């Protein structure tokens, strides 16, 4: 038997044994089976082995601020074609957690798609104090690029501060740039960081008076592709603001949430009480016009429609070379911050997102073909319960004011070591000391860091404090210190990092926020669905790290892990 006969016979036998629908359109003239790998005529590998086909399109969905318990709380109210389809037809992990602090949007999106942690990918917060520039640095801000599709400062964004490669970067390198990788989100950081540094494009929404999706010159464009221009011309935001946001279902369906009118929610500007219905046209004038969309379910629906337009406009998943779409739904975060995790507004946002996901899955079935795409869904962080509500119900919680801590540290350093501007900045639970002043006075930086850390523990609400020296050279001694260490960057982090007690947060008395290392902020969904996902069981109960998602997807694609990856494949 000749080599070509062996290849053809092996391929025919394999197709008969597997009945693999994803290969039904592949001719034997174009494909061969060599050394346990499906190979195209030009020797590009697209099938890892005889049991694992490569998807034509990978979709990574991040639902901003989605706690895991939302899946369980709202499950009976979801339809059959959205979240329930993913859970019943795919594999859901019941104990997926973030392995570091702080649990913010920028680090979360970066960690999912790099399989890493802030200490390796460099995105330690949404913004951080730049010691050299003596100013805050936003995680996606880049003054060296120009906006494309917008002339505002909102267009000057890029992944320049991301150190590790992403899944998409590795896919692009593996296929010699033939794969297309695109990021989409209402938030710039939610589009840019998941897609990575080598992405074909990342698109984010510019609200205010603009109502456009835009990108930046980082991606080699001088003007928006025609399909983006066409989408913008539809005036989706304008149409949305003519609508009224009311409950999707009868009020009785929302029995998992608090009453509509309660003191733990923040009303929109122009409203006395945060109650349905919301006339978006009337509210837009006082809520920065099209920015209002971001805090309504309409923002998620628009993101989904833009993702569909991207797939069609860029012909993603149209050939055997795998592409990747990174889609982040951000409205859930805006609604969660404003109304809290137990509000009717939040529940309604998720019930409407369920419909959007059903719509999107049906579109993928029709466009890419069922079995030809691999989708995973997770979240960048969870959210805490409203502390005011907790305290009123005799639970341990509180509100922290970092300015008081900063003032106390400054006063004590002046009293002990003399006049001077000792604290340069306090942000994201990081205290940055004036190292130049400390050196001029010939003092021990390590000693002063230790003193400041001990003073932090005197403040009500503070749980623990760590010094820069300790995090740089010591091995983590418990789960909390390990999380702090994985969120620490020697060049970008502060001299002292502290954490708060469970239930405590720095925020207003309405709504909620996130950022801690406790379960309510770290426990998020993780669902895998589509090409190659096993069907022997639907749930995995073992505890996994968010860093495990990227190497698992890379395994399905048969590509190297991202450069900063510390996760493991989920078996």
> Which of 263, 415, 422 lies closest to 343 in space, CA to CA?
263
Q: What is the mean pLDDT of residues 203-226?
A: 97
Asked which of 333-347, 424-438, 466-480 is least confident by mean pLDDT, the reply is 466-480
Asked which of 222-236, 474-488, 507-521 is least confident by mean pLDDT, the reply is 474-488
What's the confidence (pLDDT) of residue 233? 97
Residue recorded with tokens 């012909």: 315
Does residue 10 surpass a pLDDT of 50? no
Contacts of 478 (CB under 8 A, 6+ apart): none
Q: Please, what is the average pLDDT of the chain?
A: 91
- Residue spans of the domains in the chain: they are 3-53, 57-389+517-557, 398-501
Does residue 534 surpass a pLDDT of 90? no
Residue recorded with tokens 């120009």: 146
Does residue 2 surpass a pLDDT of 60? no
First CA to last CA across the chain, in angstroms?
Answer: 38
Does residue 491 surpass a pLDDT of 80? yes
Q: Where are the extended beta strands (E) located within 315-454?
A: 323-329, 373-378, 398-399, 423-427, 430-433
From 62, 103, 105, 175, the catalytic residue: 105
pLDDT range class, residue 532, cuts 50, 70, 90: confident
pLDDT range class, residue 43, cuts 50, 70, 90: very low
Measured between alpha carbons, how far is 456 from 500 in angstroms, rounded to an integer?
Answer: 10
pLDDT range class, residue 28, cuts 50, 70, 90: very low
Q: What is the mean pLDDT of residues 318-326?
A: 96
Does residue 81 surpass a pLDDT of 80? yes
Question: Within 13 A of 154's CA, how many CA atoms are on the CB side?
Answer: 19
Measured between alpha carbons, how far is 267 from 504 in angstroms, rounded to an integer?
Answer: 23
Which run of H or of E encompasses 570?
A: none
Angle, CA of 559, 560 and 566, to the nearest 5°: 135
pLDDT range class, residue 51, cuts 50, 70, 90: low
> Which of 471, 428, 427 lies closest to 449 in space, CA to CA?
471
Q: What is the mean pLDDT of residues 448-462?
A: 98
Per-residue model confidence as pLDDT tens digits over 113-152: 999 999 999 999 999 999 999 999 999 999 999 999 999 9
More confident residue, 39 or 249: 249
More confident residue, 371 or 197: 197
Which CATH number among 3.40.309.10, 1.50.10.10, 3.40.50.150, 3.30.1360.150 corresponds to the domain 398-501?
3.30.1360.150
More confident residue, 477 or 1: 477
What letters, b where the CB count within 10 A reaches 16 and e where it falls short, cover 87-112? beebbbbbebbbbbbbbbbbbbbbbb
Homologous superfamily (CATH) for 57-389+517-557: Alkaline Phosphatase, subunit A (3.40.720.10)
Is residue 182 a contact partner of residue 195, using CB atoms and an 8 Å limit?
A: yes
Contacts of 288 (CB under 8 A, 6+ apart): 207, 208
Contacts of 162 (CB under 8 A, 6+ apart): 110, 114, 121, 122, 123, 193, 196, 197
What's the confidence (pLDDT) of residue 537? 67
DSSP 11-75: HHHHHHHH--GGGTT--TTTEEEETTEEEETT--EEEEETTEEPPSEEEEEEETT--THHHHHSG
Q: Tell me whether residue 301 is one of the annotated catalytic residues.
A: no
Does residue 9 surpass a pLDDT of 60? no
Most confidently predicted of 19-23, 407-411, 479-483: 407-411
pLDDT range class, residue 473, cuts 50, 70, 90: confident
Per-residue model confidence as pLDDT tens digits over 259-271: 998 999 999 999 9
């Amino acid at each position: 038997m000749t080599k070509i006969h062996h290849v053809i016979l092996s391929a025919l036998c394999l197709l008969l044994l597997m009945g693999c629908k994803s290969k039904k359109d592949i001719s034997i003239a174009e494909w061969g089976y060599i050394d346990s790998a499906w190979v195209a005529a030009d020797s590009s590998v697209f099938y890892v082995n005889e049991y694992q086909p490569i998807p034509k399109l990978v979709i990574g969905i991040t639902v901003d601020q989605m706690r895991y318990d939302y899946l369980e709380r709202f499950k009976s109210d979801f339809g059959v074609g959205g979240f329930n389809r993913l859970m019943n037809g795919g594999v859901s992990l019941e104990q997926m957690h973030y392995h570091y602090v702080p649990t913010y949007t920028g680090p979360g999106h970066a960690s999912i798609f790099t399989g890493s942690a802030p200490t390796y990918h460099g995105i330690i917060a949404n913004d951080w104090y730049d010691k050299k520039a003596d100013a805050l640095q936003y995680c996606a801000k880049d003054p060296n690029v120009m906006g494309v599709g917008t002339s505002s400062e909102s267009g000057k964004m890029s992944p320049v501060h991301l150190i590790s490669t992403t899944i998409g970067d590795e896919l692009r390198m593996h296929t010699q740039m033939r794969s297309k990788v695109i990021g989409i989100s209402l938030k710039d950081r939610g589009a840019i960081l998941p897609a990575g540094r080598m992405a074909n494009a990342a698109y984010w929404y510019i609200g205010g008076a603009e109502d456009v999706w835009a990108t930046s010159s980082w991606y080699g464009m001088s003007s928006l592709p025609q399909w983006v221009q066409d989408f913008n011309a539809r005036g989706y935001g304008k149409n949305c603001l003519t609508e009224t946001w009311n409950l999707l279902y009868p009020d009785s369906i929302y029995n998992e949430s608090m009453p509509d009118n309660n003191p733990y929610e923040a009303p929109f500007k122009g409203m006395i009480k945060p109650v349905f219905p919301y006339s978006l046209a009337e509210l837009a004038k006082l809520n920065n016009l099209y920015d209002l969309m971001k805090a309504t379910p309409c923002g998620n629906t628009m993101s989904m429609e833009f993702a569909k337009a991207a797939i069609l406009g860029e012909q993603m998943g149209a050939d055997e070379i795998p592409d990747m779409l990174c889609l982040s739904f951000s409205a859930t975060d805006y609604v969660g911050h404003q109304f809290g995790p137990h509000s009717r507004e939040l529940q309604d946002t998720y019930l409407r997102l369920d419909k959007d996901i059903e719509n999107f899955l049906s579109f993928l079935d029709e466009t890419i073909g069922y079995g030809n795409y691999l989708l995973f869904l997770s979240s960048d962080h969870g959210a805490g319960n409203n502390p005011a509500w907790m305290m009123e119900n005799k639970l341990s919680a509180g509100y922290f004011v970092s300015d008081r801590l900063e003032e106390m540290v400054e006063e004590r350093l002046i009293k002990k070591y003399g006049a001077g501007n000792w604290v340069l900045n306090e942000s994201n639970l990081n205290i940055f000391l004036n190292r130049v002043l400390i050196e001029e006075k010939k003092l021990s930086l390590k000693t002063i860091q230790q003193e400041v850390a001990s003073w932090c523990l005197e403040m009500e609400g503070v749980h623990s404090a760590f010094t820069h020296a300790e995090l740089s050279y010591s091995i983590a001694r418990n789960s909390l210190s390990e999380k702090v260490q994985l969120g620490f960057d020697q060049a970008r982090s502060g001299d002292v990092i502290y954490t708060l007690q469970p239930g405590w947060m720095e925020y207003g008395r309405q709504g909620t926020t996130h950022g801690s290392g406790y379960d309510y902020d770290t426990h998020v969904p993780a669902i895998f669905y589509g090409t190659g996902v096993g069907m022997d069981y639907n749930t995995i109960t073992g505890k996994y790290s968010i860093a495990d998602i990227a190497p698992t997807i890379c395994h399905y694609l048969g590509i190297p892990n991202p450069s900063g990856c510390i996760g493991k494949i989920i078996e």
